Every structure is written in structure tokens, then in C-alpha cells.
Chains A and B, each alone.
Chain A
Amino acid sequence: MILIYIAVPLAILLGAAFVAAFVWAVGQGQYDDLDTPPVKILSDD
């Protein structure tokens, strides 16, 4: 059970990495416009 002292911090670190990725994506403006890109996949070029 000693493993838990490694597993828990590791899980938290992993979570933190995903949060960081999300915050980075928000900062890049990936979530600014959610309406236009879906209609654009229909254009063929």
C-alpha cells in the first residue's frame, strides 16, 4: 500500500498537466468561436 504515496501525487500531477493544457488552449483562443468552425468542415477546399 506504500505505492499510494507515489500514485496519488502522480495522479494529481497528471491532472495538473491536463489543466495546464486546457488553460493554454483557452489562452490561444481555441474556445473563442465555437459556432463557425463546425460549418466550415463542409467546404471542400
Chain B
Amino acid sequence: MERNEMFHLTTVDSDPSSSEDALQHESFRCRHCGLPVPESLVDSRQRDQFCCSGCATAFAVITGCGLENYYKLRDALNARPSPARSRGSKYTTFDDAPFLAKHVVTTSAGLNRIEFVLSGLHCGACVWLIERLPRLAPGIVRAHANLARGTAVIEWQPERIKLSEIATWCDRLGYPPSPAGNRIHAHRFDAEHRRQLARLGLAGALAGNAMLAALANYCGVFDGISLEYARLFGWVSAGLGLVAVFGPGSVFFTNAWTALRARVPSMDIPIALGVGAGTLAGVIDTVTGTHDAYFDSLAVLVFLLLLGRYIKFLQMRRAADAMTLLQSITPRTALKKRGDGSFQEVSIESLQPNDIVQIPPGELIPADGTILEGRSTIDRSLITGESVGVSVGPGTDVPGGAINQSSPLTMRVLAVGMETRVGKLMTLVEDAVAQKPAVLALADRVSGWLVIAIVLLATLTMIWWLPSGGSTALRHTVALLIVACPCALGLATPLAFAVAQGKAARSGTLIRSADSIERLSGRGIIWLDKTGTITEGKLTLIQWMGDASVRSMVAAVERLSNHPIGKALTFETDLKADEFMNHPGLGVSAWVNGSNVLVGNLALMERHQVPNDRGLEREAHHWLAQGCSVVFVARDGRLVAAAALGDRIRPGSAETIKRLQSAGWIVGLLSGDDPGIVNRVAAMVGIPTERAIGGMVPEQKLSIIRDSISKEPTLMVGDGVNDSAALAAASVGIAVQGGAETALHAADVYLSRPGLEPLHDLISGSRRAMGVVYRNFAVSLTYNAVAVGLAMAGIMTPLIAAVLMPISSLTVTTLSLTGRSYEVCR
């Protein structure tokens, strides 16, 4: 229904979308993952039904090894269903010496150890299953899964089992493995995490004990305490406070010093100023025994600020982890021709120009090359953004990264690695990342002003109180420096962002850095990619004209074809097609129920001397003008129907764009596809024509983004390699589901739910998250202002500070935790 509105076409006969709904047969659920089984895969002779061959394999392996407990466990945990993602690969490249050298370490016990990213590892039952690996495969000594990271560390005896076999076991269980990438990087993160946690623990203990010691003295103020014990507790408090300041707190001094030398405002400068002045004055007061000191406040300050920093670090680490997991891919392989004419699986890195490689249908083309044999269509949408498949034959040059769609191809490699089109685009992406201007985060901008304000106020206080004596003036100034410390500020921002990022991640949106939230909450321009973002990125049937009864015959024929047009036309039918023939570049033919059925373009019809039909051809012209692909259907030599196929607009795209526009964003369309198609799609989703730009090569996309970023905050939303440079250059680059890995690499945000709706959720969520941050700022600055006022008036005492500061921190913490930001996935 939606599609008709979107394409302004009327269906001639029954609604074609009904066939799609019928594909999901509700009565059969996959025995392995519990998802509905597509009707075409329902096998009535079997007791257990599976939604894909991966699930069938995983089920067979699990039950065959006596691990049925997995299903009980999973049901008990109520885990979200997820189909087995087995690739069915043999992982032979995992045994290559360079691969082993890069990813495998030998432990002291003489075992080999690797960390695998296991795609699909998501619940306790998965962990249980993976940790049973030693029972399945003799030679594996230990398997240890990490649920949060989706990885497993596996140790094995190299003389008993090969890594490729281990990888195959993981794959057959439904978790295709890939090496966990940068081992050293992960190790550094772990070491830093431990250091920060230990520091935080120490700071917490010191703060607690310093407070206890100070409490004794504060109670003494009301109850009367002998001078001797007051001094004792003063010394205890000072000792603990000094350890806190120069132990865990030393990090603020080093950071402030670095910031000063680099001449950038940083929250650490006012902190170091306050803590430094407080410590100095406190030591003097304790030694002379004249006044109470602020050591308890200082220790608590150090602890809370370190807590804020720790939260920020955890969030960064989690985002970085998730990104590496998304990016880690199995080394890709190619089928290379050997001297004796046979083909061998080799890793893509070992390909050289002039090698001959074979590309089976459905596989990625491994490098730039020229076709030697075979005719097929290739999908270049990830590289160029074109939505329509391109026919190729001997002599055609094809880019690496395109997908071979219909039949096997043999090609001669022209360029590999960085010399390919994709390789050059990668260089562009890296340049764009390097040149991205750093935007000063709100907290740092505020702290810049804060430093100036604090120093000014401190000078004023000093001058004001000087007539009452130097020591009085100094005491009030020190009080001001301590209470003006942006304690709540340092805790509030990271906490609010961390909560927001966590909530976003649970609803399937990965935000790499907190700065993105700030930029997403503003206004500006959003450039959307068309293919795969606004549209579904694959061919679907848009309209059918003519005899509806032949549709099931066509479906029976096209079931046997793996051409994208075939996939768009097929649905479950009882009819069986025989003598299927593929006519490359033209179409297909077969016999169904005793009728000869031809499905293909006009040339196929002409070749089989099918008389033409004026009405159908006029309609076909109309469709072609709209940018659709057209296929004709002939039955027993007579033209009976025609179908329009196109890249359908995702339901809800137009509505989401309208909502974004009413939220104050300008929306534009940037596509590598034909300008005609781009304009039409833009008109359908409500983007003005002057901001719908088609026919863009990646370099042009990049220059448009650079141009627009110099005027206003610019978001770029895309999925392909062709968008990557633009994604990297934009204020915030947003990669959408199903994107190429270069796009993930370049993007700041990754939306794991398809379509544009998550984009709207992201933007409105960011606004709410920023709302929480502003509220925190307001509260925290109000407390500081009150405290500063008291200090300037000369009535601030360590006791008042000890009460005010925890209250202000508690308030902002509560506000951060309860503030609404991203809604958790419906």
C-alpha cells in the first residue's frame, strides 16, 4: 500500500505486496533460533523446521554432541532469538603462517591462544555453548567467553588441532569467528582500566576516612572537644587528604600543566588551582594549628572527579570495543587459478596484478580487474551508490568490492590493495578524518570561562578583605578557590553522557564519542544517502500489469535463478519449473505445467519471436522513464504481462524526514545514483529539488560536506564505501545498518536498526541528553555561585563546605541518572 503512494502508481490488479507477507509463515518457528520460517523453506516431511541452513547445521551439531541443554538454558534465560550466522567457510586462511604470527600467542604452558570475535554471541546460553568447545573438539584446552565484548579466548594444543578446525567448529555452532583485531590495543585498554579502578578505590577509601576524621572535629564544634584531640584529628585528616591529593589526585596537576602548556582551556585547570591552594593553606593551618582545614572536602573532591573520569573511560572503552567488533572481519579469500588450471582459496592480500581469479555468484569481487569469461550482473551500490545492477561480460572492467550477482565470472586482476578504487577511497577517508576540525566540547568551553571568573573573584576577595589583615584575606580567598571547584560539573557531564550512551546502545544505536551527542542536539543540515538509507537498497516488485495468473508461474521459474530480479519476483508456490535456462543479459526461461514461460527484457522476447503488445510496451516506457527496471513475461509465445521493479523507498522515510525538518534540520539528498532517479525519490520523501544532488562521485560528496560544514553543523547519513569520506568529514557521520565496513570505520554513530526512524530517535534523544547536561550545569553552577558568595562574604567554613559539596554532587548525580534521554528499544 505504501509503495503505491510513494511511486504514485496504481496497481492494475491485486496488491503485489501480499506475496511478501505470505513469505513469513507464522505457524512454523525455527527449531534452533525460534524465528519464523520462510514458507519456501518449510519442509513438511520434517519434524523440525529451520529458518536457514546455518540454524539447521547448528542444531545438528548441538544435538549431535549432546548439548541440548543449550536450548533449555536459552529458554530459561528468555534470550532474544538470533539465527545462527554460520558462513560454512573452511577458514583455511587461518592456518597461514602470517595470520598465526599476527593473532596467536603461545602461552607458558606451550598452548596456543587466540581471541576470537564471535558474531552472534549474545546471551548466557551462548557463553555456555562456547565454553563446551573443549568437549566437542579434542585438542581445545580452554574456551573462555566474554559476553560484554562478544569475544572468546581459546587455548589449544597446536599438535592436536588446527586453528582452521577450531574456527569451523565455532562457525558450525552458529558463531562465525574473526580475529579480535588489535591485541595490543585491547591489552592497553585493560591495563588502563585496572590502573584507573585501583586509583579510584584508593581515592574512595581516603575520602571516606578523611571525612570520618573531620566529622569528629565538626561534632566537636558543637559538643566541645579538647584542643589536643582536635589537633590529632586535624593531623589525621590532613595526612589522609595529602595522600589523596598527591597520590590519586596528582593526575589533575599533570593534566592541568599539559593543558596550560598547550594553551587549551580544560576542566583540570580550575580543579588544580582549587586543590593546590586548599592543600597549601591547609598544611599551614594544620602546622600552626590556627584554623580548621578543608582536607576532607579536598579528598572527596578528588574521589568524585576521578569517579567522573572513570565513568567517561568506561563509556569510551565500551564504544571503542563495539566499534572494533563491528569492524573485525574474517580475512577475505579469493579463488586464484594455479599453474595446473585448478583454483585455490587464497587470502586477498596475497593476490597480485595479472592473477586469474574466479568469482562465484553471490561473492565479492576481490580486486579491480577485467572480466575474461562469463556474463553476469554486478551490484556496485556499495562503491558507487547506483541502485541498479550492471551487466558485465568479457572485457568489462569491474571494481573490487562489487558483488557478483548471477553467474560465475573469471577475471584478470588489474590492481590490488591500495591501488584499487576502494583502496584510494580509503586514503580519502583517512585524510578526511585527519582534517576534521576539533570542536571544543561544552564542558571545556565552560571551564575556560570558569577559570577566568574564579581568578577574578579570588582577586576581588583578596583586595576586599586585605584591610582586615593579610591572613584573613588569604583564608577567605582559599575558601573561595576550594568551593568554586567545579566538582559537580566534572562529574555531571560524563555521567549524563554515559547514561545517554548506555541507553542508546540498548536501543541499537552506537555512539562512539560523547561529543557527537552535543553536536546532534543542535540544528544544521542532514545529508542523506539514497540507496540503502532512504530506500531499501534492493530490487522489489513495484507494479505488475497483465495476466495475474502467470505470477505464480513466474515465481516458480525465478526461484531457480539467483539474479536480483529473480529474487524480487519469486514467492512460495506449488508449481515446479523444469528445463530452466539462463540467458545471460536477457532473462530466463523454463517449462511450468506444460507451458513455456519466458521472463526477461524486450530483447529476449524478440529473440524468441514473441509478438509485441502495444499496451504493455507503452506502460513499460512509462516505467522506464520513472527509473524502474522492466521485465516482460511470455507464455507459450504470447506476451502476457510486464512487471516494474525498483529500489523501494523504506516505509516511514517520508514521515521521518518531515519530522526532522520540523525539528529544525535542513534535509538534503546526496547520491551517486542517476540524477533523474534521485530527483524523483527526493520529491516522494519531501526533499526540495535544489537539495537533491545525484550523480555524485565520492570526491564530490566529500567536497559538498566540506563546503557545508564550513557554514553549519553537518550530519551525513550513509552506508556505502562511496559515503565513507563524506561520513568522516561531517560533524557527525552516521552509518546505517548493512553498511560497508569502511563506512563503519569512518562514522561516529552506527544505527543497527534499518531505516531512518532510528535517526530521528537519535536526534531527539541527543536533545534530551543535552537537556540533562544543561540542567546539571545550571544546578552545579548555582551551588558554586552560592558557595562563592558565602566565601566572599567571609562566612564560608570547612563545615559548610563539607555539607554543600556532597549535596551538589548528589543532586547532579540523581538528575543524570533519572534524566530521560534515549528511549530503550520498544
Q: Which of A11, A33, A42 is B124 in contact with, Cβ under 8 Å?
A: A42
Take A33-B146, A36-B148, A39-B77 as given contacts and tell me if A23 and B198 are in contact as well, using a CB distance cutoff of 8 Å. Answer: yes
A19 to B148, CA, bound (A): 27
For A27, give the chain B residue with the smallest CB separation: B194
Take A29-B194, A31-B194, A33-B146 as given contacts and tell me if A5 and B232 are in contact as well, using a CB distance cutoff of 8 Å. Answer: yes
Q: Is the CB of B124 within 8 A of A8?
A: no
A42 to B148, CA, bound (A): 17
Q: Is the CB of B194 within 8 A of A12?
A: no
Q: Is the CB of B229 within 8 A of A4?
A: yes
Q: Is the CB of A39 within 8 A of B194?
A: no
Q: Is the CB of A43 within 8 A of B146?
A: no
Q: Is the CB of B124 within 8 A of A19?
A: no
Q: Is the CB of A36 within 8 A of B202?
A: no
Q: Is B51 an interface residue (CB 8 A)?
A: no
A27 to B202, CA, bound (A): 13
Q: Is the CB of A26 within 8 A of B201?
A: yes
Q: Residues of A contacting B213 with CB < 8 Å?
A: 8
Q: Residues of B contacting A12 with CB < 8 Å?
A: 209, 236, 240
Take A33-B148, A36-B146 as given contacts and tell me if A43 and B128 are in contact as well, using a CB distance cutoff of 8 Å. Answer: yes
Q: Which of B124, B190, B198, B229 is A40 in contact with, Cβ under 8 Å?
A: B124
B131, B201, B209 pick with most chain A CB within 10 angstroms: B201
Interface of B, secondary structure class, is helix
A15 to B210, CA, bound (A): 12
Which B316-336 residues have C-beta < 8 A from chain A?
none
Take A8-B236, A22-B201, A36-B147 as given contacts and tell me if A42 and B229 are in contact as well, using a CB distance cutoff of 8 Å. Answer: no
Q: Which of B128, B131, B198 is A22 in contact with, Cβ under 8 Å?
A: B198
Which A1-45 residues have C-beta < 8 A from chain B?
1, 4-5, 8, 11-12, 15, 18-19, 22-23, 26-27, 29, 31-36, 39-40, 42-44
For B69, give the chain A residue with the smallest CB separation: A44
Q: Residues of B contacting A42 with CB < 8 Å?
A: 73, 76-77, 124, 128
Which B203-241 residues have C-beta < 8 A from chain A?
205, 209, 213, 229, 232, 236, 240
Q: Is the CB of B194 within 8 A of A26?
A: yes
Q: 1/0 per residue B108-134: CB within 8 Å of A?
A: 000000000000000110011001000
Q: Is the CB of A18 within 8 A of B236?
A: no
Q: Is the CB of B205 within 8 A of A31?
A: no
Q: Residues of B contacting A27 with CB < 8 Å?
A: 194, 198
A31 to B76, CA, bound (A): 27
For A22, give the chain B residue with the smallest CB separation: B201
For B190, give the chain A residue with the smallest CB separation: A32
Q: Is the CB of A39 within 8 A of B209?
A: no
Q: Which of A31, A33, A43 is B73 in contact with, Cβ under 8 Å?
A: A43
Q: Which of A15, A35, A44 is B205 in contact with, Cβ under 8 Å?
A: A15
Q: Is the CB of B190 within 8 A of A39?
A: no
Q: Is the CB of A8 within 8 A of B232?
A: yes
Take A22-B201, A23-B201 as given contacts and tell me if A1 and B229 are in contact as well, using a CB distance cutoff of 8 Å. Answer: yes
- Least distance between B742 CB and chain A CB atoms (Å): 30
Q: Is B197 an interface residue (CB 8 A)?
A: yes
- Least distance between B233 CB and chain A CB atoms (Å): 8
Q: Which of B147, B197, B202, B232 is A31 in contact with, Cβ under 8 Å?
A: B197
Can you list the 6 inter-chain pairs with the closest CB atoms, starting with the nearest? A39-B124, A35-B148, A36-B147, A23-B198, A22-B201, A35-B147
Chain A interface (Cβ < 8 Å from any Cβ of B): 1, 4-5, 8, 11-12, 15, 18-19, 22-23, 26-27, 29, 31-36, 39-40, 42-44
Chain B interface (Cβ < 8 Å from any Cβ of A): 69, 73, 76-77, 123-124, 127-128, 131, 145-149, 190, 193-194, 197-198, 201-202, 205, 209, 213, 229, 232, 236, 240
**Could you pull out 8 A-B pairs where Cβ atoms are within 8 angstroms?**
A23-B202, A31-B194, A31-B197, A32-B193, A34-B148, A39-B147, A40-B124, A42-B73
Knowing that A27-B194, A39-B127 are A-B contacts, what are 9 other residue pairs whose CB atoms are under 8 Å apart, sorted by A's residue number? A4-B229, A8-B232, A22-B205, A23-B202, A32-B190, A32-B194, A36-B148, A40-B124, A40-B127
